[in-house]
Each structure stands twice: as C-alpha cells, then as structure tokens.
C-alpha cells in the first residue's frame, strides 16, 4: 500500500504522487483542465506530506 504524499488542505483530497495528481488534471467527462485539485480547481491549497525520521535521542 502506497502512502499519500500530496494533500489539498482545503478539501482534504489526497494523492499518492505527482503522477496520481496529474491523472486528475483533466476531467474525463467534460475535458476541462484543472489547475491542481480537481475539487477546488486550484493548486493554491496543495501541500506535500513529508515524513521526517524519528528524532528522539538515542541512549548509549
């Protein structure tokens, strides 16, 4: 299972990758091209979801 790496902070829609997002840029029914999130019709709310490594101190 692949984790989502991109989220629209306005509507909460998530995408697994840039490729996954690109597949949603063209509405298959109307042919309309979206700029970012197909629900919000903008890329203003897109956010990368980055997992940082666990930075807890290590006891030697």
In a domain, 15, yes or no: yes
Q: Read off the pLDDT of residues 5-59 as tens digits, 9 standing for 90 and up.
A: 889 999 999 888 888 888 878 877 888 887 888 888 888 988 888 766 666 666 6
Domain of residue 34, residue span: 1-53
In a domain, 59, yes or no: no
In a domain, 58, yes or no: no
Long-range CB contacts (< 8 A, 24+ apart) of 3-7?
3/49, 3/51, 4/49, 5/48, 5/49, 5/50, 6/46, 6/47, 6/48, 6/49, 7/46, 7/47, 7/49
Give the number of domains in the chain: 1
In a domain, 39, yes or no: yes
Is the pLDDT at 1 greater than 60, yes or no? no
In a domain, 12, yes or no: yes
In a domain, 20, yes or no: yes
In a domain, 44, yes or no: yes
Q: What is the pLDDT of residue 42?
A: 87
Q: What is the pLDDT of residue 57?
A: 65
Q: What is the pLDDT of residue 10?
A: 93
- Report the predicted TM-score, pTM, of the whole model to 2 decimal places: 0.65
């Amino acid at each position: 299972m692949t984790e989502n790496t991109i989220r629209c902070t306005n509507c909460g829609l998530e995408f697994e990758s840039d490729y996954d997002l690109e597949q949603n840029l063209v509405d298959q029914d109307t042919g309309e091209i979206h700029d970012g999130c197909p629900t919000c019709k903008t890329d203003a709310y897109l956010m990368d979801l980055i997992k940082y490594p666990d930075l807890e101190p290590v006891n030697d």
